[in-house]
């Protein structure tokens, strides 16, 4: 309507009216563009807020997983050292306690990473929606660090684990897993980490079975060397997770973990 009127005024050379109509057209176009931009910015800000919320939720779980992997593998290490001390004559354990520690030294923890939000941001090229630079940098470091996968892989591929599994009867291994294996841990339950593996237990096996299994393990000439290798690998991976290279990651995750959702 304003554009048609402007054309009519141009034909009639009504210059004042032309000027007024021109200003109205320009202002109308400008306001229309601004409204469109504001609406787009509001939509972008809303999307950014949702992604930021979801990323923080994911990182809260990552904090728990990180602490779980440290705590759990420390318990594996403690059992490996007990079994190695028994085998090397530094200390003596009962047959059942030795068998339990030798078994627990074979254990590993593998967790699926909660990274769907980060992967979506990267795959769609929208990581810039996370305006908090520290949060963005923390997520990039967390989801690109290999330590959690490395310590799990070492456990899966452990030669000590393989030797133990080949040396112990299947029914004994099942009893150990059932009565002395990993305890279930709910995501976010930091208190449960301390006893995820290292807790008092009884195998439920007969004295003869316990004595026979412990004797077979103690007489295995390969076991102590492989156990020492297992200990060295755990020391290395735990050192990585607690070392200066990952201190900022650990502290950043801990800060996110303490935030209320």
Q: Indicate the domain borders of the chain.
A: 58-258
- Residues 240 and 39: their CA atoms lie apart, in Å, by 47
DSSP readout, 48-117? HHHHHHHHHHHHHHHHHHHHHHHHHHHHHHHHHHHHHHHHHTSS---HHHHHHHHHHTT---------HH
pLDDT score recorded for residue 16: 65
Predicted confidence (pLDDT) at residue 117 exceeds the cutoff of 80: yes
Assess contact for 77 and 70: CB atoms under 8 A: no
Q: What are phi and psi of 203, to 5 degrees?
A: -70, -25
Assess contact for 93 and 82: CB atoms under 8 A: yes
pLDDT score recorded for residue 21: 56
Torsion on CA atoms 87, 90, 94, 97, rounded to nearest 10: -70
- Residues 122 and 193: their CA atoms lie apart, in Å, by 32
Q: Could you report the per-residue pLDDT of 161-190, keeping only the tens digit for each?
A: 999 999 999 999 999 999 999 999 999 999
Predicted confidence (pLDDT) at residue 115 exceeds the cutoff of 50: yes
- Residues 199 and 83: their CA atoms lie apart, in Å, by 16
Distances, alpha carbon 61 to alpha carbons 81, 113, 189, 259, in Å:
30, 9, 10, 12
pLDDT score recorded for residue 18: 47
Predicted confidence (pLDDT) at residue 29 exceeds the cutoff of 90: no
- Residues 142 and 66: their CA atoms lie apart, in Å, by 10
For 109-123, what is the mean pLDDT? 93
Q: pLDDT tier at 10 (50, 70, 90 boundaries)?
A: very low
- Residues 74 and 10: their CA atoms lie apart, in Å, by 86
- Residues 240 and 234: their CA atoms lie apart, in Å, by 10
- Residues 7 and 4: their CA atoms lie apart, in Å, by 5
- Residues 55 and 116: their CA atoms lie apart, in Å, by 9
Q: Look at residues 128, 175, 173, 138 and name the one whose alpha carbon lies nearest to residue 59.
A: 138
For 88-101, what is the mean pLDDT? 97
Q: What percent of the chain has pLDDT over 70?
A: 84
Distances, alpha carbon 69 to alpha carbons 122, 152, 183, 234, in Å:
26, 9, 14, 11
pTM of the model: 0.83
């Amino acid at each position: 309507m304003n554009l048609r009127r402007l054309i009519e005024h141009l034909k009639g050379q009504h210059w004042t009216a032309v000027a007024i109509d021109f200003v109205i057209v320009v202002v109308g176009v400008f306001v229309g563009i601004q409204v469109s931009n504001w609406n787009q910015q509001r939509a972008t800000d809303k999307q950014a807020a949702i992604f930021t919320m979801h990323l923080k939720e994911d990182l809260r779980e990552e904090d728990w997983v990180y602490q779980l992997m440290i705590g759990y593998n420390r318990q594996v290490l403690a059992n490996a050292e007990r079994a190695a001390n028994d085998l090397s004559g530094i200390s003596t354990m009962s047959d059942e306690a030795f068998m339990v520690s030798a078994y627990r030294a074979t254990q590993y923890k593998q967790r699926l990473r909660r990274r769907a939000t980060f992967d979506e941001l990267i795959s769609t090229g929208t990581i810039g929606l996370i305006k908090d630079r520290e949060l963005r940098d923390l997520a990039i470091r967390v989801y690109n660090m290999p330590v959690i996968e490395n310590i799990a892989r070492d456990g899966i591929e452990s030669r000590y684990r393989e030797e133990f599994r080949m040396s112990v009867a299947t029914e004994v291994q099942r009893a150990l897993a059932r009565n002395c294996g990993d305890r279930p841990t709910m995501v976010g339950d930091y208190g449960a980490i301390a006893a995820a593996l290292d807790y008092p237990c009884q195998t439920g096996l007969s004295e003869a079975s316990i004595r026979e299994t412990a004797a077979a393990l103690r007489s295995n000439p390969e076991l102590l060397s492989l156990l020492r290798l297992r200990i060295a690998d755990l020391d290395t991976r735990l050192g990585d997770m607690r070392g200066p290279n990952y201190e900022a990651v650990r502290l950043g995750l801990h800060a996110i973990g303490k935030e209320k959702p």
